[in-house]
Amino acid sequence: SLTVKWRGKPVFIRHRPEDQIKAAEDVPLNQLPDPQPDSARVQKPEWLIVIGVCTHLGCIPLGQNPGENRGPYGGWFCPCHGSIYDTSGRIRQGPAPANLAVPTYAFTADTKVKIG
């Protein structure tokens, strides 16, 4: 995981292993408060890029650093009010009304991405 700043906001970049990709792809959309397939949130399945701002009240969720609480879905956990996101950055539990936003981005090389 890597966090960068873009337009004053943290952007979470996560290289997802196969088990996280599979977990994100296997979720039935009818179980999601803000239904969106994983394939609509990524350009390359192994790379997830989301704006790291909780959609409830703008807090910064935990889960980017080793040892931080990622919640039961392996994504991110916002301790302020208990919003829990999965490995695709989709809201699974708590008061957040929407998934973590996906910024506009493009891969300029295998290991380089341009955000915005």
- Digit-coded pLDDT (tens) for 23-51: 999 999 999 999 999 999 999 999 999 99
DSSP SS3 for 23: helix
pLDDT band at 71 (very low <50, low <70, confident <90, very high): very high
Catalytic residues: 81
pLDDT band at 110 (very low <50, low <70, confident <90, very high): confident
**Which pTM does this prediction carry?**
0.94
Distances (CA, A) of 47 to 16, 38, 77, 81, 113: 6, 11, 19, 27, 10
Q: Which has the closest alpha carbon to 13: 85, 116, 115? A: 115
